[in-house]
């Protein structure tokens, strides 16, 4: 990503150009520029901006199982695979200057994926929300930066029927998201061991209203996905590169220990895997090929899931109820 100061200056310029172009037809940049969505979308957005809003097209990840949201690169590569693996939504960068994305890719990605596309654009202006609404984007991700009015942005999203997602990483950003009445928050599970990461996550999510949906980032192994479930997350944000991995490939080896975690055993059994073939490690799970068999862990009401077994399948395991703090 570009330097934050340079990025902020560029975003201010883009917003001014877009606002003047949509309201007054005064374009200081070519309407076919890569960071703009195209003339047909701009025409539609101008009408929505004139009306001051439109009907809703929101997105939700809440259910009785942990949902999968796949973070795509700016090119949109992996959209079709995300749909094939059963992801509920994809996160697509639509900011050209900061993230190498483009609003022009939204429709193609939506067609390839076949489900909701959430824009990672960091908007802060009504004109930008009008453009996203004209593109049919049901959700938009925002980051609590000093120059972004989250409360005003949330109000604009409601006027245009969009779902506001807010990225949080500490108490200050969490409180900013709650003040803005964000519909969905996205928090990152730390890089440290799962116990410490889970403890921090529980403290961070403790003040979130039960009506707010929570998407956790950092589920790179079965063990970390289970930590998200324990913290009460509604969904998990996965990088597209994990879609082709199997559960045996999700974590490296590092001093494995005997696994004595019944909830983790339940997750493995639900995937049709033998828990006695796995060991726990600080970085995740390790498949222990050829190790002596231990007595199987008995878990009630487990259900097998058909092939393929991978990151999205592990998220389909029913999550425990009542664990949100």
| Residues 6+ positions from 184 with CB-CB distance below 8 Å | 60, 61, 139, 163, 164, 165, 166, 212, 213, 214, 215
pLDDT tens sequence for the chain (325 residues):
557 678 778 888 999 999 999 998 888 988 888 899 999 999 999 999 999 999 988 899 998 788 899 999 999 999 999 998 889 999 999 988 877 889 999 999 999 999 999 999 877 789 999 999 999 999 999 888 777 889 999 999 999 999 999 998 888 889 999 999 999 999 877 665 556 666 776 777 777 888 899 998 877 777 777 777 777 788 889 888 888 776 666 555 555 556 667 777 777 777 667 777 776 655 555 554 443 434 444 444 444 445 556 777 767 666 554 444 3
pTM of whole model > 0.85? Answer: no
- Contact between 10 and 97 under an 8 Å Cβ cutoff? The reply is yes
Calpha distance 209→178 (Å, rounded): 8
- Contact between 270 and 232 under an 8 Å Cβ cutoff? The reply is no
**pLDDT number for residue 259:** 62
**pLDDT number for residue 250:** 59
Listing DSSP states for 233-261 in one string gives -SEEEEEGGGGG--GGGSS--SS-EE---
Phi, psi (degrees; rounded to nearest 5) at 5? -65, -45
Calpha distance 193→190 (Å, rounded): 8
**pLDDT number for residue 60:** 92
**Token duo for residue 85:** 């693996």
Q: Could you tell me how far CA 20 lies from the centroid of its own chain?
A: 32
The domain limits of the chain are 4-244, 247-310
What superfamily does domain 4-244 belong to in CATH?
Answer: Aldolase class I (3.20.20.70)
**pLDDT number for residue 72:** 94
Phi, psi (degrees; rounded to nearest 5) at 23? -80, -40
Give me the count of residues in the chain: 325
């Amino acid at each position: 990503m570009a330097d934050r100061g340079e990025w902020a200056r560029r975003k201010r310029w883009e917003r001014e150009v877009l606002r003047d172009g949509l309201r007054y037809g005064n374009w200081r940049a070519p309407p076919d520029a890569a960071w703009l969505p195209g003339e047909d979308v701009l025409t539609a957005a101008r009408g929505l901006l004139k009306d001051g809003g439109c009907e809703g097209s929101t997105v939700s990840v809440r259910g009785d199982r942990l949902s999968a949201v796949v973070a795509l690169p700016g090119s949109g590569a992996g959209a079709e695979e995300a749909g094939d693996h059963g992801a509920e939504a994809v996160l697509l960068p639509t900011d050209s200057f900061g993230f190498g994305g483009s609003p022009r890719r939204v429709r193609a990605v939506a067609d390839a994926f076949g489900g909701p596309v959430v824009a990672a654009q960091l908007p802060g202006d009504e004109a930008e929300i009008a453009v996203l609404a004209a593109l049919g984007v049901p959700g938009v991700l925002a980051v609590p930066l000093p120059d972004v009015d989250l409360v005003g942005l949330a109000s604009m999203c409601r006027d245009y029927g969009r779902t506001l997602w807010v990225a949080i990483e500490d108490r200050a950003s969490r409180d900013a998201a709650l003040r803005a009445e964000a519909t969905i928050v996205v928090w990152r599970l730390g890089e440290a061991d799962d116990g410490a990461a889970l403890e921090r996550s529980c403290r961070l999510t403790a003040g979130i209203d039960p009506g707010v949906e929570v998407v956790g980032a950092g589920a790179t192994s079965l063990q970390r996905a289970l930590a998200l479930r324990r913290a009460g997350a509604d969904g998990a944000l996965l990088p597209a590169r994990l879609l082709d991995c199997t559960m045996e490939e999700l974590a490296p080896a590092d001093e494995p220990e005997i696994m004595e975690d019944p909830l983790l055993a339940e997750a493995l059994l639900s995937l049709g895997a033998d828990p006695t073939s796995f060991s726990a490690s600080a970085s995740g799970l390790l498949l222990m090929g050829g190790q002596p068999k231990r007595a199987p862990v008995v878990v009630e009401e487990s259900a097998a899931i058909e092939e393929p077994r991978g990151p999205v399948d592990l998220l389909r395991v029913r999550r425990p109820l009542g664990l949100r703090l």
